[in-house]
Structure 1
Amino acid sequence: MNRRQFFLGSTLALASTSMPLSLRQLAVASPIQKPGPATPPIDCSALKPINAHGSRVTGVYACSRPFRHAGPRIETELLGHKVIVHNYGHGGAGWSLSWGSSMQAVRLALAASAGRNTLGVIGCGPLGLTSALLAQQAGLSVCIYAKELPPDVPSMGATGLWSPTSRFCAAQYGPAWTTRWEEMANFSFSHYQKTLGLPGRPVEWINGYKLSDTPFSSEVKPTPIKDPGEPEYAEFTNAFLPSQVDMPPGSHPFPAPYARGWTSLMFNIAPYANLLMTDFLAAGGQIKIQEFTDSNELLTLPEETLINATGYGAKVLFNDHSIIPVRGQTIHLMPQPDVDYGLRAKDFFIMPRRDGLLMQNMDERGSFNNSNDRPDHMDAQATVAQVAAFVAGMQCQPLQV
């Protein structure tokens, strides 16, 4: 039996148990122990230069990240005779916190189900799929209703980096979220460890490099390039990643004088979403393609309890005007398997995803409260050209340290 079969078999075993599983028992009670220090390569022969050329671009994707000043909406609402459990509004932390957030949502759904063993989930992004899988593990029969399925859901355009604090809430709401955020982050991080090493590498650890023109020891935390009126976001302690390692000038191949090595989790979103879909269907889940334009349309569904995981779509479906769209754009290049490191420079970000190198322009001025989800190809080509110019300055001979 291979690891994936074991993982799937465990899921099916949980789903078929006669006693519903208590999700409170699954929560990680204490913070995950921090891994050891990162050990990034310092010999440039171990780092292959990125082939950044406009002809290698395979796609440009834009989407709206659903930010709420007050943080995600994970709560129960009565809609006629239905119980709606909301699970949306995670800003840029949706993929990272999906398991923990869905654990809290399913816990509410179980409390509201009054012994009923069916559940409907609206939406098939990361929050919808993880909600559905956890509900199956708790013994419920689940049907997902969605307008689109992966790979066509907007969240497939995300970067895929472990980012549990990204636009989670405005700073003044941070203290009220501390306990629940820690539970979400711990539960999610623990769950991702179970997917490491699976075929297709849906989740893996990667090394990367943050670059600077000034020493990190004298670095003042830079003010993000933002729009006027955009709020400061709450910061939580991210105790899950190894310590970063400073690399002095001359010890690395990059044209920037200073580099700092980091290690993080990365989601290869295409195989990861496929894994979630496969496990859900293998455990007996159903999917129905259906679009809802008004919340009252949900009253026609057979399930009495529903989890709403529609992300930015909840703004219209539930008239939630607290949702602020934050435009994001990612650029995908042809896969380059020999590039297995990430880069974070002042103006761009690169991730070595299995479905192709992913690039992002870090200047997001004009993105806050911007619902335009049309790709900007001129910006994409400018970003690729900027990366190409940077790569041209990399040293190509092994360095003596």
Structure 2
Amino acid sequence: MNLKAISGQRRQFLRHAGTTLALASTATLAGCARQAMVPNAKPTVLPRAARLESGVAELAPVRAQVDRITGIYVCTRPFRAAGPRLELEKLGDKAIVHNYGHGGSGWSLSWGSSTLAVRMAQATGVRELGIIGCGALGLTSALLAQRAGMAVRIYAKALPPDVFSMRASGLWTPDSRICDAQHAEDFGDRWESMARTSYGMYQSLLGLPGDPIEWIDGYHLLDTPAGQQNDTVSDEPEYGDLSSRIRDLRPQSVTLPVGSTPFPQASRRFTTMMFNITSYTRMLMSDFQLAGGKIVVREFTHPRELQALPERTLINATGYGARALFSDESIIPVRGQTARLIPQAEVNYALSTSTLSMVPRRDGLLVQVIGDTGNFNNSDLTPNRAASEAAVRQLAEVMATMRGT
């Protein structure tokens, strides 16, 4: 059997195996050593491992120009001070399992959170399940319920790509705005369980066609270029820091001296998981429908409308939408905006400074302002193009300092 066939079989196996964190970004680091030249011979190409061992990073520059912006996207992260709502509620003759309020960690915690939600649904003894919402939590809840032997129907007012989950940055950030510092201790054990379950599932999705999940290296520049320092004081609460609980899952960041990267300042190299959300969501939708799942496009404006559904047990995975549907005032919207640049396959690293972040997803390079104010308790979905263009210009200034550009 040739290598291509073996590789194909491996990907198929990973695709169907398994039922079962922070700086954000994407792609793999490529380092290289100088090639020894032999007269009248082709240059020697060292194995990738040897190139990485050299410790010299060769990084392609980002074409950071405002005319390469293909879209500006705004979402509202559903933050709850006490953490996500995961509980069973009786509503008329329906059992409603709530699975929402994950802040900036919806994709990151989706498999673990949905595992808990599906267990609650199973405890009601039903074989047919309805899912309200078709974002990260809705899709993973639906797939896990199918794998548990249940017949599943999704009800949603919007389907991918027209859901807020599609506007996430795409990094594995399981403790991003997940709770406030006051509730971190009480929520910690449940959070750790969700994070570890999700991590395990994501490892089983590596290497699939379209690279829905990737491990990438990134660089955090330690000295921000002149004119780009951020002296603003955060207007957001102190969020819970739970990362020490899963330190064993994450590669540790490394401080790199000046000269080891193309940038003129020292940096921290970090390694993280990245979601190529477009291909990942397409895979989830396809898997759900191939397993017999049904989708009904429908909007609900009041909980009593759920009584007309045929399923006796429902999982509510409506995210920020639960604030209006279930009058849950504990959900606080945290506005987030990204600009997407035309994809560059050669840019295979993430980059961040104190004021911006760049994530190199396959469907476009995501550029985001970080450390800005005015986003907490802000539900305005109007794109601010000037802010995104300013971030792209800042990125261009960083690129201009790279050696070889």
TM (norm. structure 2) is 0.86
Task: Give, in whole Å, the separation in 2 of the partners of 1:107 and 1:391.
Answer: 49
Residue 304 of structure 1, CA deviation: 0.3
The aligned counterpart of 1:258 is 266
Matched, 1:125 2:131: no
Task: Give, in whole Å, the separation in 2 of the partners of 1:8 and 1:140.
Answer: 20
The aligned counterpart of 1:217 is none
Residue 231 of structure 1, CA deviation: 1.6
Task: Give, in whole Å, the separation in 1 of the partners of 2:234 and 2:165.
Answer: 22
Which residue among 152, 167, 174 is the counterpart of 2:177? 167
Matched, 1:357 2:365: yes
- The residue type paired with residue 364 of structure 1 is D
Residue 226 of structure 1, CA deviation: 1.8
Distance 1:268 1:9, change over 3 A: closer
The aligned counterpart of 1:184 is 194
> What is the aligned-residue RMSD (CA, Å)?
2.0
Task: Give, in whole Å, the separation in 2 of the partners of 1:141 and 1:309.
Answer: 17
- The residue type paired with residue 92 of structure 1 is G
Matched, 1:76 2:85: no
Residue 39 of structure 1, CA deviation: 7.6
Question: Could you report, residue by residue, the CA deviation over 1:33-79 in whole angstroms, capped at 9, with x for unpaired residues?
Answer: xxxxx9873435x2111100011111100000000001100001111
Residue 390 of structure 1, CA deviation: 1.2
Which consecutive unaligned segments of at least 5 residues does structure 2 have? 1-7, 22-27, 32-54, 225-229
Moved more, 51-60 or 232-241: 232-241
Question: Could you report, residue by residue, the CA deviation over 1:361-401 in whole angstroms, capped at 9, with x for unpaired residues?
Answer: 0133000000011111111111111111111111118xxxx
Distance 1:224 1:187, change over 3 A: farther
Residue 355 of structure 1, CA deviation: 0.3
Question: Could you report, residue by residue, the CA deviation over 1:80-128 in whole angstroms, capped at 9, with x for unpaired residues?
Answer: 000000000000010000000000110111112x2x2100000000000
Distance 1:393 1:333, change over 3 A: same
The aligned counterpart of 1:2 is 9
- The residue type paired with residue 2 of structure 1 is Q
1:39 and 1:245 in contact (8 A); partners too? no
Q: Partner of 1:50: helix, strand, or coil? A: coil
Task: Give, in whole Å, the separation in 2 of the partners of 1:200 and 1:375.
Answer: 29
The aligned counterpart of 1:390 is 398
The aligned counterpart of 1:249 is 258
Residue 307 of structure 1, CA deviation: 0.2
Which residue among 206, 214, 217 is the counterpart of 2:216? 206
Q: Which runs of 4+ in 1 moved over 3 A?
A: 1-11, 38-44, 222-225
Question: Could you report, residue by residue, the CA deviation over 1:10-34 in whole angstroms, capped at 9, with x for unpaired residues?
Answer: 58xx8xxxxxxxxxxx5xxxx9xxx
The aligned counterpart of 1:51 is 63
Residues matched between the structures, number: 361
Which consecutive unaligned segments of at least 5 residues does structure 1 have? 15-25, 32-37, 215-221
Q: Partner of 1:71: helix, strand, or coil? A: coil
Within 5 Å, give how 1:1-400 maps onto structure 2. Answer: 2-7=9-14, 9-10=16-17, 26=20, 41=31, 42-44=55-57, 46-112=58-124, 114=125, 116-213=126-223, 225-227=233-235, 230-236=236-242, 237=244, 238-239=246-247, 240-255=249-264, 257-396=265-404
1:40 and 1:262 in contact (8 A); partners too? no
Distance 1:172 1:137, change over 3 A: same
TM (norm. structure 1) is 0.86
Task: Give, in whole Å, the separation in 1 of the partners of 2:70 and 2:163.
Answer: 18
